[in-house]
Each structure stands twice: as structure tokens, then as C-alpha cells.
Amino acid sequence: MHFDTIAAISTPMGEGAIAIVRLSGDEAIQIADRIFRSPSGKSLLNEQSHTIHYGHLTDPSSGETVEEVMVSLMKEPKTFTREDVVEVNCHGGLVSVNRVLELVLREGARLAEPGEFTKRAFLNGRIDLSQSEAVMDLIRAKTDRAMNVALNQMEGKLSRLIKQLRLALVETLAQVEVKIDYPEYDEVEETTVPYMIEKCTWVKEEIDKLLRTSAQGKILREGLATVIVGRPNVGKSSLLNSLVQENKAIVTDIAGTTRDIIEEYVNVRGVPLRLVDTAGIRETEDIVERIGVERSRQVLKEADLILLVLNSAEELSVEDERLFTAVSGMDKIVVVNKTDLEQKIDLAKVKELTDDATIVTTSLLADEGIDELEEAIAGLFFEGNIESEDLTYVSNARHIALLHKARTTIEEALGAAEIGIPIDMIQIDVTRTWEILGEIIGDTVQEGLINELFSRFCLGK
């Protein structure tokens, strides 16, 4: 498959030691050769693949030297895109990298669309769709565990399993075709139906295994939306700072200091939390604070985990009890803070209100109780199972939705087989399951979905 030559900046914008402009396509080496000048006068067209060369970039129209560079030369097919790829390493300033990009665009390259390099790797058959999506997961990983999940998927662990499932279904469909083509042989049907049930049962069990890891995988990929709530001045911002280990939020003794939503990603025992510190929820006449309180209530509705903070040095108030009502039925941990002060809170009453939620006592001022809180967070969602390295974690919401659909159709096939529905009717559900699983790795996916998925990638990837 042949495409035009694309180019983009592949490193983050800003000042740094180096920046990289990447080219990919049939004309990548020729374009680079037209603007590259080495001290020895060598041509890139005559150089070996996977070599790097020192020199300068020169504007052919003016003869002006544009940049001092190192040029990496990689010839197809052993490249990321399976096309000729050139990476120009230049100085990492905004002006220098943009001058290099402008020069290669003037010489015939086209500015790449977001994710177009990875899209070409997919279209050229180097990776499948699930591996392509894992590239972006790897870039966005917030913890080591999330990165390991993305690496396993990028290396094809999920793809290999999906292909095994589809192969089992194809073998089943082949048996069905034999029965349809030779209906006069009764023994064919006698062996075909049990064989179909056996294969479909195995496929269903494997899908169930994947779905059992999906909740944990999705958390590792996207992070837990974790909201810290409580009355003003109970220690919410102090808790945020303790988990982040930086002074991100203003901490004072004045109630209502936090007027807006403060977000921060933190790594808690390998679990990425998208931590949100909210304005203290209370009735207030302050217009600005009231807006913050309303935003806090909205954020509550979107939370995966609630950290409900109480003040150990005060009795439970009506506002505290309203908060318990607001988060009833949600995953939560109750944090009883300020245990360094004289206890006035009724812990027995707190236990009555918690819906069996975990209660952790802390003194954030004395830096006590944070380890216990982190352990409670990790245990609530993972229960130690995440340490298993041989599990195939499904982390992508698109993959999870397709697995649920595939599970439904394979269950329908099994149910039909068990009650004696004609085998050619069962074949429809088995074929649909095969197609749905193919959408995960891109074998049966539509072009519109492919374009939409790769548009989410960063430019240069």
C-alpha cells in the first residue's frame, strides 16, 4: 500500500535539548536528501538503513543553512509504519523545530493528521487496531501498572487471544457448512452440534475471563475519578496535598477557602486517581462560594470513588448527615481527620451512616493515616488481584463494549443449540460473534470508525 509522504513534529512543543521532525512515505528519503548536507558530501540515498548522520539542513531555494541536525534513516519495511521513515533531530527550541518542519513541507511532504503515523502502521499491517489504540494508552499511562497493561496490549497479548477465539468460531462454522452441504448424512449433525456447543462454551468462558478484568483494566487506563467531599475546613485540601505530596491546594483555618474544583492525578499503590478537591458543601450566602458548591454537587454524580472527610474534633452535623445521604450507594471511604485534637465525633454514629464503607482515621497535620488510606483505596478496587502478571487486562471502553456484545450473541447461540434450533439458524449468532470480535482487532471494522479512533491521537504519532 502506497501513500504520500507525511511529516510532523513528534516531540512535545517547548524548549528542550532536542526536537524530532518525523517523515514517513515513499518520498521521505528523497525529501530529506534534497535539504541535507553532510561534511563529507554523502547522499542519504546511498546510505544503509537504520543509520544516523550528522550535517546541516539547507534551504535549496536560497542556500541558507537552516539547522544543525542528526538525521536518522530507516528504510521500509522494518520501520514503525512499514514505509521509509526519516527522523530529523534538531535543537529543541520552538523556532528551530518549526523551521525544520516548514522546510520539509515546502519540499513536498504533507503535514500529518493526528495519529496518522500509527494509522499507517495499522493500514500497512504492522499492528492491528487494538495494538494501535495501546500506543496512545502507553503515552498516557499514569502508573507503572497502567504502562504494563498498555505494553502487553501493544505487543499483541489481547490480539492473540482474540484471534484464537475467532479461529475456534471459524472451525465451528466450517463444521456447520459441512452439515448444510451434506444434509443426507445424519452422523454429521450428531457430531456437529456437540462440537459447536463445546467450542462456543470455551469462547464464552474466555470472554467472561476478559470481562472480569475489564473493571480493573479500565481503571488502570483512565484512572479513578475520585472526589474529596466534606464540610468546609475538615481537611479536604490537606488530604489532597498529602496524596499528591505537593502544596497544590490552599490550606487555611478559614472556612470556604476552596472556591473551585482542583484536579490532580496521583499514583496510589499503582492505582491512578484523578483526584478532585471540591469546595466545602454547605449553605452559604457568598455568591462565588455558592457556585463552587454547586459544581461540587455536579462532580459527585460523575465520581467512581468518594473520600468523605469528617472532623474528629467536632460532633456530626446535619450537613455531615446530608453528605452521607448524597453519597449513599456509591463506592466511598470515610476519612475521620484531625485525630490529633480532642475527639468529639461519635464514631458509632459514623459507622451507622457508612453503608459498611471503610473508615480510616487520619491526622493530616501530623502526617498520620495516609498509608492506611492508600491501602484501603487499592483494596477496594483490586483486592490484591492486580499483581497477577499472566492476566490479559482489557482496559479500552470500546473493547469492553464489544466483548459484552460478543458474550450476548454467543450465549444466544448456545441457548439455541441446547433447545434444538436448526443449525443454520445458530450459525447466524456464531457468525455475528466472530464479526464482533473482529471489530476489536480491526478485521471487520468500518473505515469511519478507524478515522475517528486515530483522530484522538496526538500530532506526530
Instruction: Report whether pLDDT(312) > 60.
Output: yes
Q: What is the pLDDT of residue 28?
A: 95
Residue 59: exposure state from Cβ atoms within 10 A (0-12, 13-18, ≥19): middle
- Average pLDDT in the 294-319 region? 79
Instruction: Record the pTM.
Output: 0.63
State the Cα–Cα distance between residues 226 and 305, nearest whole angstrom: 5
Does 444 or 351 have the greater pLDDT score? 351
Domains and CATH numbers, the chain: 6-127 (3.30.1360.120), 131-219+393-454 (1.20.120.430), 227-387 (3.40.50.300)
Helix, coil or strand: residue 310: strand
Q: Is the pLDDT of residue 181 over 60?
A: no
Higher pLDDT, 403 or 323: 403
Side chain identity at residue 380, one-letter code: L
Predicted confidence (pLDDT) per residue in 34-70, tens digit: 999 999 888 999 999 999 999 999 999 888 999 999 9
Instruction: Report the C-alpha gap between 346 and 356 in whole angstroms.
Output: 16
pLDDT in tens, 372-391: 888 888 787 765 444 444 45
Q: How far is Cα 215 from Cα 383, in angstroms, rounded to an integer?
A: 12
Per-residue confidence (pLDDT) for residue 368, from 0 to 100: 87
Closest listed residue to residue 216, CA positions, set 162, 259, 269:
269
* Torsion sign across C-alpha atoms 152, 154, 158, 163: negative
Closest CA to 236 of 244, 228, 247: 228
pLDDT at residue number 293: 52
Place of cell 499514569: 142
For the chain, give the longest Cα–Cα distance.
87
CB 450 within 8 A of CB 122: yes
Helix (H) / strand (E) element for 28: namely helix 28-35
CA 257 from chain centre, in angstroms, equals: 34
Judged by DSSP in three states, 39 sits in: coil
pLDDT tier for residue 366 given thresholds of 50, 70 and 90: confident
Helices (H) and strands (E) in the chain, counts: 15, 13
Sign of the torsion angle spanned by Cα atoms 183, 189, 193, 199 = negative
